[in-house]
Chain A
Amino acid sequence: MEHTYTRADFAHDISLMREFFEFIFFTKRDASASKEGIDQFVALNKKPLGDVVFLRSLPPSFLESFTKESLYEMLNQLTEESKKLKTLSLTVPVALSRADVEAIGTWAHQEVSPDILIDFDVDPSIAVGCRLVWNNMLRDFSFNHYLIKNQIALYDRFTQSMPKP
């Protein structure tokens, strides 16, 4: 979970693990769910670095807990358990890059909870900042929030620059 920040990431990780374990269990190669098996899988499938890092971050005990028979059951179980993880819903003004998502996810893991998942949505009307839902509570830290926060100062500035009625 260290590098899994969003539900999409989690789904991708589950898919990656299913692909890896299917490689291990069903390709009849002499490979095991270990570091070596990951290397073989990566070498054969030419996975991106992020996927490699993810697979290599998985602890051996976790890898060994999967068997040919329990693979799909455990994957389904993991998917179900992921739904129980706390989710921080973030609405942001632009579509963020992977690096931005990782930076925000890292902050959330460190500052909020290590097991937190972030659900990103894009709304250009937010302009800047974000709007978040946490524990079913909506909080607005977008441009409107900063406008309201500085409403008096802005209104004073406008009225000073306008003719008196």
Chain B
Amino acid sequence: MNIILSLWSDILSDPLLPMLLLVLVILMLLVLIAVVIQFGTRIRYLATSSASNSTVKAVQEKADHILVDAREQGIAIRMHAQMEAGKIFTDRIEEDEKFRVVQAEHLEEIAQHTKDLLIKQVQFAEKALQDESESIKKMFSGVSMQAQKEYQGLMEEIKKRMSDELSKEIDLARQAVTVYKQQRFVILNKEIVGLVEDTARIALNKSLSLDDHRGIILAALAEAKREGVFGTPS
């Protein structure tokens, strides 16, 4: 209890408390005024109930009228909205079409630009390739000419060497052939003489008659006598 009393004493001792109490009183007065006003309105409504039916009816009609107007307005608004929406849609389509056209033009421009760029790039690449090709051609031409010169020089040297070697070989071969021919001709002469001898022997043996042989033998004997085979030559 003491505690509560001490608490009250503490609270009452605070300087802000009167201000708070004043504010609470003002608020309570305001609430009271509002309740009274609300209560007075309700009483007036209840006092005028007989006229309220006509009023309600009028209000009802008015409300219906308002509703019809509101419906009509709503329809009008909807139609307007639809028209607006159509316009907006049409505008959007037109805008889209314009945008598409613009995009197409842009795309064409981009394509043309890309094409031009590619053509330029290709031309540049072709030119670079041609330049490089010319350069390579020149380089290879130089290399080829040098190689051809070296090849011709080498071929000339080989030809000269081969010609010299061939000349030597031909000279040696000719000498060998000459010696061989001489030897062969000597042998051939002997062979031919031998062949002629043999042929003559065979031919003579076959062609000569006994009388021919006898005559030749007698001639040979006479020659032997003339040569002094049998004594003093005649």
Contact = CB atoms under 8 A, between A and B. Distances in A.
B223 A141 contact: yes
A94 B139 CA distance: 97
A103 B218 contact: yes
A54 to B, nearest CB: 22
B197 interface: yes
B198 to A, nearest CB: 9
A91 to B, nearest CB: 10
Q: Which of under 10, 10 to 19, 20 to 34, or 35 or more describes the interface residues of A?
A: 35 or more
B229 A137 contact: yes
B201 A139 contact: no
Contacts of A125: 201
B138 interface: no
A130 B210 contact: no
A125 B194 CA distance: 13
B185 to A, nearest CB: 5
A64 to B, nearest CB: 35
A26 B178 CA distance: 85
A97 B210 contact: yes
A139 B221 contact: no
A128 B215 CA distance: 10
Nearest to B231: A112
Interface in A68-97: 90, 92-94, 96-97
Contacts of B208: 128
B182 A165 contact: yes
B177 to A, nearest CB: 9
Q: Which of under 10, 10 to 19, 20 to 34, or 35 or more describes the interface residues of B?
A: 20 to 34
Contacts of A142: 220
Interface of B is mostly: helix
Interface in A105-164: 107-108, 111-113, 124-125, 127-130, 132, 134, 137, 139, 141-145, 147, 154-155, 158-159, 162
A94 B220 contact: no
A90 B217 contact: yes
Given A100-B210, A143-B200, A128 B216 contact: yes
Contact of B181 (A90, A94, A96, A165): A165
B185 A128 contact: no
A100 B210 CA distance: 8
A104 interface: yes
9 contacts: A90-B217, A107-B218, A127-B200, A127-B201, A128-B208, A128-B213, A129-B216, A141-B220, A158-B189
Interface of A: 90, 92-94, 96-97, 100, 103-104, 107-108, 111-113, 124-125, 127-130, 132, 134, 137, 139, 141-145, 147, 154-155, 158-159, 162, 165
Q: Which 9 A-B pairs have the closest CB atoms?
A: A141-B220, A127-B201, A129-B220, A165-B181, A100-B214, A112-B230, A130-B217, A165-B185, A128-B216
Given A124-B201, A154-B193, A162-B189, 16 more contacts: A100-B214, A107-B218, A107-B222, A125-B201, A127-B201, A128-B204, A132-B224, A137-B229, A139-B227, A141-B223, A147-B197, A155-B193, A158-B192, A158-B193, A165-B181, A165-B185
